[in-house]
Amino acid sequence: MDLDAFFASCEQRERPEYKGCPVVVGALPGHRGVVAAASYEARRFGIRSAMPISEAYRRCRDAVFLRPDMEKYRRASRQVFRVLETITPDVEVASIDEAYLDITGLEKLLGPPEIIGSEIKQRILADTGLTASVGIGPNRLVAKLGSEYQKPDGLTVVRPDQVLDFLAPMPVANLRGLGRQTQKTFNRLGIRTVAQLRAIPLELLESQLGKKAAASFHRQAFGIATDQVVPARGRKSISKETTFESDVQDHAVLHDVLRGLAAQVAQTARREDLSGSVITLKIRFTGFETHTRQHKQTTPTQDEREILKTTWQLFLGSNLPEKPVRLIGVGISSFDDDPTGQADLFAQPEQRESDRQLLKTIDDIAAKFGTGKLQLGLSRKTGK
């Protein structure tokens, strides 16, 4: 199940005057940033996700440009997933607007796959006012490609004996994990469709892509993929980033922004009882040159002081280019089952309790007055 132009559809749902209008969610015209989502009316002008907002504005000056409202989209997402759980308990959340469902055995209750798919779409529309595209197939790959096949508001059912014919004419660009370099390799080999990929010997693919990538694309060409649906798999990472109106090279400014981002990441982690051991710094320079740096902590953390200290060390000590920064971001991942993390053996019990109380106070104030109203006083030079 894949919701159609989700962010833009949420805005059109709440603002009826936007229905039928090209809606672009992302940065505002005249500001730095990219398109986060475009309504299908906007897509007719060639506007797509990740397009620079300046290009989107050039293509359609009459579009409605809106800043993202993530809390609104999360509420709508929760509504949709509650609907899905009325169909089957086996729901795996893939993203804020996408999920896999195991409908094995539902034929006896609801009918054939076409009826089940229609029921899913109708319930989502009736309960949330949003449209969804549904793909049904014998495994995750085929179901995912089916959901993309007739967007928007589509329903595609691919039975096991139809898989090879369904995939054959598709562009190889539709396959999972195909990046720019792999696309160049396929172009050089004259591979444009899945049928052409299927005809290439595996040994030749391995010589061009390496064994792991070659095996992945070879399996996909024949429609081979897992059919496992894992409910409540949980969040894999938490990240926050910001794009500057004009490029920034002042370390003091960058440190202050990192401090705010680290606080947001940490507060989200504590709210969700998560503690991460991998801390990530993301930097983008002019021309979309992007670098990421990671550090694995010995002890999982949900403390903004530790996150800031580590990201600042990554910034200063990772041989990053000395260029003005367009975007900067912070993230944590590799979550530990124990949200409090392993206790510091050298910290006094009263100090640990004091830290917990301090962070709880910050979270309580954020819940009441909004994130960013109170932050810890952190040194720009040390990040402590």
CATH number at residue 293: 3.30.1490.100
Residue in the structure block whose two tokens are 């999360």: 74
Is residue 311 located within the same domain as residue 243? yes
Is residue 298 located within the same domain as residue 343? yes
Torsion of the alpha carbons at 84, 88, 94 and 95, rounded to the nearest 10: 20
- Global model pTM greater than 0.95: no
With respect to residue 184, please indicate whether it lies within any of the assigned structural domains: yes
Per-residue pLDDT of the chain in tens (384 residues, 90 and over written 9): 999 999 999 999 999 999 999 999 998 999 988 899 999 999 999 999 889 999 999 999 999 999 999 889 989 999 999 999 999 989 998 889 999 999 998 988 889 999 999 999 999 999 999 999 999 999 999 999 999 999 999 999 999 999 999 999 999 999 998 888 899 999 999 999 999 999 999 999 999 999 999 999 999 999 999 999 988 656 788 999 888 888 999 999 999 999 999 999 998 888 878 899 999 999 999 877 889 999 999 889 999 999 999 999 999 998 898 899 999 999 999 886 544 444 343 444 444 444 555 565 655 555 555 555 455 554 444 444
Question: Is 238 in contact with 276 (CB distance < 8 Å)?
Answer: yes
Question: Is 97 in contact with 134 (CB distance < 8 Å)?
Answer: no
Closest alpha carbon to 303 in 350, 371, 356: 356
Q: What is the pLDDT of residue 274?
A: 87
Is residue 281 located within the same domain as residue 347? yes
Is residue 322 located within the same domain as residue 304? yes
Is residue 245 located within the same domain as residue 348? yes
Is residue 158 located within the same domain as residue 137? yes
With respect to residue 224, please indicate whether it lies within any of the assigned structural domains: no
Is residue 318 located within the same domain as residue 365? yes
Q: What is the pLDDT of residue 339?
A: 41
Final residue of a domain: which of 164, 196, 229? 164
98 is a catalytic site residue: yes
With respect to residue 34, please indicate whether it lies within any of the assigned structural domains: yes
Is residue 195 located within the same domain as residue 242? no
Domain count, the chain: 4
With respect to residue 381, please indicate whether it lies within any of the assigned structural domains: no
CATH code at 208? 1.10.150.20
Catalytic residue selected from 11, 98, 304, 306: 98
Range(s) of the domain holding residue 153: 71-164
